[in-house]
Amino acid sequence: MSRSAHPAGPRHADVLPEGHYSAPAADLNALDEKVWSRTVTRDADGALTVGGIAVARLAEEFGTPAYFLDESDFRARCRAWADAFGPDADVFYAGKAFLSRAIVRWLKEEGLNLDVCSGGELTTALDAGMPAERIAFHGNNKTVAEIERAVEAGVGRIVLDSFQEIVRVAHIAQRHGVRQRVQIRVTVGVEAHTHEFIATAHEDQKFGIALADGQAAEAVRRALALDGLELIGVHSHIGSQIFDMAGFEVSARRVVQLLAEIRDEHGVELPEIDLGGGLGIAYTSDDDPREPHEIAKALSDIVTRECEAAKLRTPRISVEPGRAIVGPTAFTLYEVGTIKPLEGLRTYVSVDGGMSDNIRTALYDAEYSVALVSRTSDAEPMLVRVVGKHCESGDIVVKDAFLPADLAPGDLIAVPATGAYCRSMASNYNHALRPPVVAVRDGEARVIVRRETEEDLLRLDVG
């Protein structure tokens, strides 16, 4: 993306400041369906509605800031992924993107499996009734206590991430008199982000066991030799917010190559491969994500072709989308507090949340869109930076975007595509109270994660 010429807003000189933005949309009131959840629309008064409920009512009932999650969209996306991959593959929702008991129940009802990566996520999954055999347990440093609980619960698979863990899980499984189904997470040397990938990425990262130098082959040797383990396959996860399938192509080829080596050395064909998650979504109108059925076809074509070439039976494929399922289903609703026009630069719009409810902009330089949602406006576009209320100048929610120049304190603005990695990464910085997640469906709204209270803060502070 590049800076582009556009009509200067009324508060700006002809020259716009450096930034990462496109020209303003022709109509700032239009809601691009790529970035908003499926039931979002504007009512006759111009107010944004989700699940048939206008934002003013939602703000009144639940306060701001708050996340509003479009339940029917979430369920539709689960079904789209399950249908796209069909009965011969498994879709695991990556719980770290956003997890709550309601989410677990919806996943269960829509036929998805679930990835967890901590004792807390495992507890949430089990408490909400996800069958243990549909849970995969991830992480590069699972504690012994976490492994014990996962084995006792009977999770469907543990993804082994180190040589120490191979032994740990085997011992714990043996002590419980079970053979634990496991996969080995390998680092294939591919790193993928959005439109580019590096096929020769340095294996300089904390996750997985390197394919290079025969490390992964050695891990397989050790896992196959241990009675407590049933090695069902190999796992690879190459990046995040990926649009281009070429990185998956290289990754799948390398994983299949390992399966062929395992067959040659041990005479066993491992039945499964997991290609991880990382599929991208639209945060702004410039993003063009692929549909689940296109992704499913691309991945299964790649694996089938590579297996034919290696004369292997095609293994069962699993994938682990997190962001691609929950990301587009929610928006964050904020109330505008203060507005500071900086002549020749941009206008700072401060909202009642910030980096405590969305750390992605500060952490990853992530891009988001924003819209005025309590009303429409015919005013000229003005270049804004939406910032939070925290004591930190990097507290930015939306770095560069356009809002109508008549924006005023008290207006409601919303940031779409905040379903993934926002509430789940929320913090109490400045003793902020983490916002609620409200599920909206068919004219009804209900809290699925309540807003924190000051009593919650004080309860943890035992003085």
Ligand X SMILES: *Cc1c(COP(=O)(O)O)cnc(C)c1O
Contact residue for ligand X among 324, 387, 433, 449 (CB under 6 A)? 324
Q: Which residue has the tokens 């505008």?
A: 336
Strands 66-70 and 272-274: unpaired
For ligand X, which is the closer residue by CB, 130 or 407? 130
Q: Which helix (H) or strand (E) holds 305?
A: helix 292-310
Residue 46 Cα distances to 34, 61, 274, 374, angstroms: 19, 19, 45, 7
Q: Say if CB 47 and CB 54 are below 8 A apart.
A: yes
Binding track, positions 421-440, relative to ligand X; x by CB under 6 A: --------------------
- Cβ of residue 258: shortest distance to ligand X, in angstroms? 17
Residues in contact with ligand X, shown as a per-residue x/- string from 221 to 250 under the rule CB under 6 A: ----------------x--x----------
| Region from 56-64, 123-131, 316-324, 371-379 binding ligand X, contact rule CB under 6 A | 316-324
Largest CA distance in the chain: 74
Question: Helix or strand or coil: residue 263?
Answer: helix
Shortest Å, Cβ 160 to ligand X = 12
Cβ 334 to ligand X shortest distance, Å: 24
Per CB under 6 A, does 375 bind ligand X? no
Determine the angle formed by the axes of helices 71-85 and 101-109, rounding to 10 degrees: 40
For residues 99 and 407, which CB has a smaller minimum distance to ligand X in the complex? Answer: 99
Q: Extract the tokens encoding 435.
A: 């916002």
Nearer to ligand X, 321 or 353 (CB): 321
Strands 191-194 and 196-198: antiparallel
Q: Output 139 or 315, the one with its CB closest to ligand X.
A: 139
Decide: is 321 part of the binding site for ligand X (CB under 6 A): yes
Q: Which is nearer to ligand X, 58 or 78 (CB)?
A: 78
**Sequence-distant (≥ 6) Cβ neighbours of residue 189 within 8 angstroms:** 199, 200, 201, 202, 203, 210, 211, 212, 254
Tokens of residue 421, six digits:
């990695």
Q: Taking contact as CB under 6 A, which single stretch among the options 42-50, 89-97, 244-252, 402-410 is the one that binds ligand X?
A: 89-97
Q: What number of H helices and E strands is found in the chain?
A: 12, 24
Comparing CB distances to ligand X, the nearer of 277 and 328 is 277
- For position 157 contacting ligand X by CB under 6 A, the verdict is no
Residue 22 contacts by C-beta under 8 Å, 6 or more apart in sequence?
1, 4, 284, 285, 286
Determine which one of 117, 307, 391, 422 is catalytic.
391
Q: How far is the CB of 122 from ligand X (least distance, A)?
A: 15
Q: Does 91 bind ligand X (CB under 6 A)?
A: no
Q: How far is CA 331 from CA 22, 48, 358, 369, 415, in A?
A: 21, 11, 11, 10, 5
Position among 71, 110, 272, 320 found at the interface with ligand X (CB under 6 A) = 320
Asked if 323 touches ligand X (CB under 6 A), the answer is yes
Q: Is 391 in the active site?
A: yes
- Residue 388: count other Cβ atoms within 10 Å of its Cβ: 27
Strand partners, 231: 182
Beta-sheet pairing, 48-50 with 53-54:
antiparallel
- Exactly one of 48, 80, 91, 97 binds ligand X (CB under 6 A); that residue is 97
Query: Alpha-carbon dihedral of residues 233, 247, 198, 200, nearest 10 degrees?
Result: 40
Q: Which is nearer to ligand X, 195 or 446 (CB)?
A: 195
Least Cβ distance, residue 93 to ligand X (angstroms): 9
Size of the site for ligand X (CB under 6 A): 17
Token pair for residue 321?
A: 């989308």
Judged by CB under 6 A, the chain residues 380 through 399 that form the site for ligand X are none
**254-293: which residues touch ligand X (CB under 6 A)?**
276-279
Stretch that binds ligand X, among 63-71, 92-100, 106-114, 194-202 (CB under 6 A): 92-100
CB 357 within 8 A of CB 426: yes
**Interaction between residue 253 and ligand X (CB under 6 A):** no
Residues with catalytic annotation? 391
Binding site for ligand X (CB under 6 A): 94, 96-97, 115, 138, 237, 240, 276-279, 320-324, 420
